[in-house]
Amino acid sequence: MFQKKKRKKKKRTDVNLMKELEYYRAKSIKVTSRQKYAIAGILVLLVIGGVLFSPLFAVKNIRNEGAVHFTTSQLCEKIGLSPGDNTIFFGKGRAARLLEKEPYIEKAKVSAKLPDTMIITVTERKVRGYVPYMGSYLYIDDVGRVLDVQDAYYEALPLVKGLSFGNFKKGEVIPAENPEALDVMLQISQVMEKYELLDLVVEIDVSNPDDIYADVNQVQIHLGDMENSEQKIKIMAEIMKKIPEEDRGTLDLSDLNKPIAFRYLM
């Protein structure tokens, strides 16, 4: 009988499976220090971004400082600012530049008071007088810039007649063909404001800057040239406050060396 040869069993090498797993795991997720910092930075940015864009910095309050001719809502409409906008990322510089395009606004600043308040600060130009123009009135400031055009005027400021000019643009100095007449008008309005005489409604004819006339109520006042203008206007105001509105007459202030007398007209 043939005997079956016994097969030699192959030796098996014991394998530590846990060590193998740890080896491959460590090899597959090995991260450098640089990568760790990058991941940490990304996480930090995500957290910061989440906070900055959160409702915490949504606009809830809007303050208007210095504006007289514009309400807070009008200013917001001009710059596109609404409740709920982000106080940090709202374009403040662009908003200020938009506001400064308005003739009435000389300077503007838009700032944030964190977390939820926006502040609009403006410095406005002041109207110094009115110039009649084709049935309406040009509102001009202390350099002759046209701030507005209205069908009527409401403040007691000089109403100037005798200026010659063609086309004009709001926000630009009135292009007077007789600029010396414009200078006279501005000088008179500044003197009136200095002495707080703006309760008088004064019409000034500056067609001849060397021979100026003014009308207050029903009184015609001859001012002459602008020599001693401050004194002339101050005297004019003091006298006019004593003359009843219904009285008609003339007042000559062209030469202060002469006696000043009010002459009634029938």
Same domain, yes or no: 253 and 171: yes
Report the DSSP pairing between strands 212-216 and 202-205.
antiparallel
Same domain, yes or no: 200 and 113: no
Contact, 179 vs 187, CB < 8 A? no
Q: In which domain, by residue range, is 206 found?
A: 154-264
What is the mean pLDDT of the segment spanning 245-262?
Answer: 89
pLDDT at 88 over 50: yes
What is the mean pLDDT of the segment spanning 97-123?
Answer: 96
For residue 261, what pLDDT is reported?
Answer: 83
3-state secondary structure of 175: coil
Same domain, yes or no: 163 and 219: yes
Whether residue 182 is contained in a domain is answered as yes
At 67-86, the pLDDT tens digits run 999 999 999 999 999 999 99
The fraction of the chain above a pLDDT of 90, given in percent, is 42
Same domain, yes or no: 216 and 158: yes
Same domain, yes or no: 158 and 201: yes
Report the DSSP pairing between strands 129-133 and 117-124.
unpaired
* CATH code at position 208: 3.40.50
Distance from C-alpha of 124 to C-alpha of 67, rounded to nearest angstrom: 7
Same domain, yes or no: 178 and 224: yes
Task: Return mean pLDDT, the chain.
Answer: 83
At 152-175, the pLDDT tens digits run 988 878 898 998 888 899 999 999
Structure tokens at 195: 């002495």
Domains contained in the chain, number: 2
pLDDT at 1 over 50: no
Same domain, yes or no: 108 and 190: no
Domain boundary (78, 104, 124) is at 124
Same domain, yes or no: 119 and 158: no
Whether residue 169 is contained in a domain is answered as yes
Same domain, yes or no: 158 and 259: yes
* CATH code at position 119: 3.10.20.310
Same domain, yes or no: 177 and 109: no
Show the CA angle centred on residue 105, arms to residues 69 and 196, nearest 5°: 65
Predicted model pTM: 0.73
Going by C-alpha positions, the residue among 129, 187, 188, 127 that lies closest to residue 160 is 129
At 186-212, the pLDDT tens digits run 888 888 777 766 667 788 898 898 999
Same domain, yes or no: 195 and 104: no
